[in-house]
Amino acid sequence: MDFFAAQAQARKRTHRLVLLFILAVLGTVVAGYAAAVFFLNQAPDHGALIWWDPLLLAWTAGATTVVVGIASLYKWSQLRAGGAAVAELVGGRLVSGHTTDLKERRLLNVVEEMAIASGIPMPVVYVLENEAGLNAFAAGLTTSDAAVAVTRGLLDKLSRDELQGVIGHEFSHILNGDMRLNVRITAIVFGILVIGLIGRGILQSVGQSRGRSSSDDKKGGGVMAFIAVGLALFIIGYIGYFFGRLIQAAVSRQREFLADASAVQFTRNPDGISGALKKIGGYALEGNIADQHAPEIGHFFFAQAFKTSLSGLWATHPPLDERIRAVEAHWDGALFSPPITVDIAHESSATAGFGGSPLSRSQTAKPPTSLPFKPVAIVADIGALTEAHFRQAQTLLAAIPSSLREATRKADTAQLLVYGLLLSENQATRNQQQTLVKKQAGPDAAKELASLDTDLRILAPEARLPLLQLALPHLRELKNIALERFTTTIDELVHADNGVSHFEYALQKMLQRQLALATNPRPQLQFDSFDAVRHEIAIILSALAHLSPKNTSVAFADGAAQIPVLRSQLTLLDSDASGLMQLDPALDKLAVSAWPIKQRVLVAAGHVIASDSTITREEGELYRAIAATLDCPMPMLGLAS
């Protein structure tokens, strides 16, 4: 399933979830109405039994809907801050980019490889330090605010290949739109549960004061009334909760098989994911999470996070043996036998994953392999987990100087790294830019930037935008004055030579988009008609056509042909009408367009580039900026010099 089909499927699942939620709320309303009728008929001054009271039903339905709705909105607002909020809900600790724990370094390395290979911003990484069970999850609303969390047990007990398999599985959830659905499920189930929580709270408070009230018959009668109400709310809430958990489980289970298959496709190593599953089944704690919030987000996890009865009706994951056999058809049924203990503190940095896998280390002398530029294939790779891009990412990361990779892992050094990526090859301009950094960020920052200068000069051009991807989580930490100073400095560096290159535009646009998404993770969809964005599409295709070494009009026509509904209405614009200044608002408008429009635009833009069967570095950087602004995670491209 490609990225755009996955987004469409996620929307369908969301619609189904809304329907199931309505049914669960209706069930809760019916239970509440039945309880209200029962209490009404028990009243001493009540006459004949009444089983149908429209007014009472209306009040019950209204009160239930309001309580459930407010509770769901509260939980949604709590979790919409992004994946970090979910990770911290269950006690996650943010992994510092400068951690000295080699197991955490290995984890960061694997996540970096996956991020570069899939083309998404580097997720923030958390460890559930107090959890000995083997488990992990990815959370967030979009690819731009994702977090990946693993338990200490998983970090300690898995090999690098097994860790790769688990992280590949979680990246599948990130790319397939599962994370946002998971957050919605959490909010919905909490909304249904809150009635039961209110009832439990009443019972607990009455229990604490019952001894003091029992001596007074009148008060005792009031206490019994409170107990009855609390018990009724408790039962009503947990009836709804029962169905809510069924919804949570039903929506979650099938997606796990897809994510397992994606992890195998990504790493081309079925032993990684199957080995992780066997270890989870072999250890006594399995994937169990001790934190009290684990059942709330059980559907986020890699494996079943809590014990469940009811014949597995509440199980959020398929049985381990079914998942293993789906990956390893000839599995003999043996789960786990303890391997020889490996002390990671005495492994080499390559084996431990400190600086990349052994494969990538052996290829450091080779430049990343260029991939053929075929527009349909490139667009199909958006959001996909492919082995070719994974290996390419490993090779690229291994070739990046360690000082630059370290700089991505902290907010202050990440800013300096971005400044460094914008330094001109012209020495006079470079000196001017360094003076700007000293003026804006201070002499200490300028001195630290100078210490990166040697490595920046030898950095391969194709590594520049991937480094920005790795730095984004820490750049999103910048707020208010620090953020304003950073963006102002970026703008001054870009315009230091009174011009804007395509790389400078791509970097600045990608950065602006990601910082904007940190504030508003899910902008409102505004355009679902091709005609509404016809002029903007013409600007993008024209801008790329003017970069083509081939006949400009032919390149434009090749792209326009990919949008049949507009083909006769699209006109090649002059370079003055389709420059970077015009491209900026055009991309902003397309960014809030429907997914089918974004997909067609990327296919058409790719055909403009491919009209001469080659892709220049300028074209590639601009194409990646277009994809990033449209929130489409594009893997690295094979760039020609």
Q: What is the pLDDT of residue 360?
A: 36
φ, ψ at 640 (rounded to 5°)? -90, 150
Higher pLDDT residue, 251 or 124? 124
- Give the span between the Cα atoms of 514 and 472, in whole angstroms: 8
Q: What share of the chain is helix, strand, coil (3-state, %, to 5)?
A: 65, 5, 30
Lowest model confidence (mean pLDDT) among 166-180, 251-265, 408-422:
251-265
What confidence tens digit (pLDDT) does each residue in 433-466 have? 999 999 998 999 999 999 999 999 999 888 999 9
What confidence tens digit (pLDDT) does each residue in 387-409 have? 777 888 888 898 999 999 999 98
User: Cβ–Cβ contacts within 10 Å for residue 17, how many?
Assistant: 18
Residues forming the active site: 170
Reported confidence tier of residue 353, pLDDT bands at 50, 70, 90: very low
Residue 545 lies in a domain: no
Q: What is the pLDDT of residue 284?
A: 79
Residue 597 lies in a domain: no
Q: What is the pLDDT of residue 16?
A: 67
Q: Domains in the chain: how many in total?
A: 1
User: Cβ–Cβ contacts within 10 Å for residue 457, how many?
Assistant: 11
Q: What is the pLDDT of residue 328?
A: 85
Residue 225 lies in a domain: yes
Per-range mean pLDDT, top range of 305-309, 332-336, 623-627: 623-627
Residue 533 lies in a domain: no
Residue 194 lies in a domain: yes
| pLDDT beyond 60 at 263 | yes
Provide the mean pLDDT of the chain.
81
User: Cβ–Cβ contacts within 10 Å for residue 499, how many?
Assistant: 10
Mean pLDDT on 532-552: 90
Q: How far is CA 210 from the centre of its chain?
A: 49
Classify 202 in phi/psi space as left (phi over 0), alpha (psi -120 to 50) or beta: alpha
Residue 83, domain extent = 1-336
What confidence tens digit (pLDDT) does each residue in 224-235 have? 666 776 677 777
The reported pTM is 0.76
Q: How far is CA 503 from the centre of its chain?
A: 26
Q: What is the pLDDT of residue 335?
A: 80
Lowest model confidence (mean pLDDT) among 124-133, 394-403, 512-521:
512-521
Residue 147 lies in a domain: yes
| pLDDT beyond 60 at 341 | no
Lowest model confidence (mean pLDDT) among 175-184, 328-337, 353-362:
353-362
Residue 467 lies in a domain: no
Residue 463 lies in a domain: no
